[in-house]
Amino acid sequence: MAEGILRTAAGDLLDVHSAGSNPSGYVHPLAIRAMAEIGIDISSHTSKHMNDYLERDVHTVVTVCGNADQACPMFPGQVSRHHWGFDDPAHAEGTEEEQMAVFRRVRDEIQKVFNAYAAGWQEATELNR
């Protein structure tokens, strides 16, 4: 969800990719559904491991779940790192609707933070012109 939200919020301003320290191998169907509700299609996204990016020049690393900031390595060219510890909605329990409520809550929290983050990048870009 984080990748889809940041890609949408940042547009062409940032090159956004997501990966995890322990990828599930699939994108959770409730995540796809929650994102579709706000007009973002992540149905073609894939679950990737962070090691897939160790050979790439990475400017900024943003970690979003639990202790991901501790599990994430330094990447070549990395300038900064941010951590926002959102709940992992894939661990939600209860009925499908109760789980969906958790996916919606986390989606909305991520969207609020990432919209502000992208707006800061936009403002900095405009100031540097």
At residue 67, the pLDDT reads 61
Go through the domains of the chain in sequence order and give each one's CATH number: 2-124 (3.40.50.2300)
Higher pLDDT, 76 or 69: 76
Check: CB of residue 107 under 8 Å from CB of residue 2.
Answer: no
The C-alpha R_g of the chain, in whole angstroms, comes to: 15
pLDDT digits (tens, 9 = 90+) for 89-106: 999 999 999 999 999 999
Instruction: Report whether 20 contacts 2 (CB < 8 A).
Output: no
Helices (H), ranges, the chain: 2-10, 29-36, 68-71, 96-127
Residue-level pLDDT at 68: 57
Do 40 and 14 touch, CB atoms closer than 8 A?
no
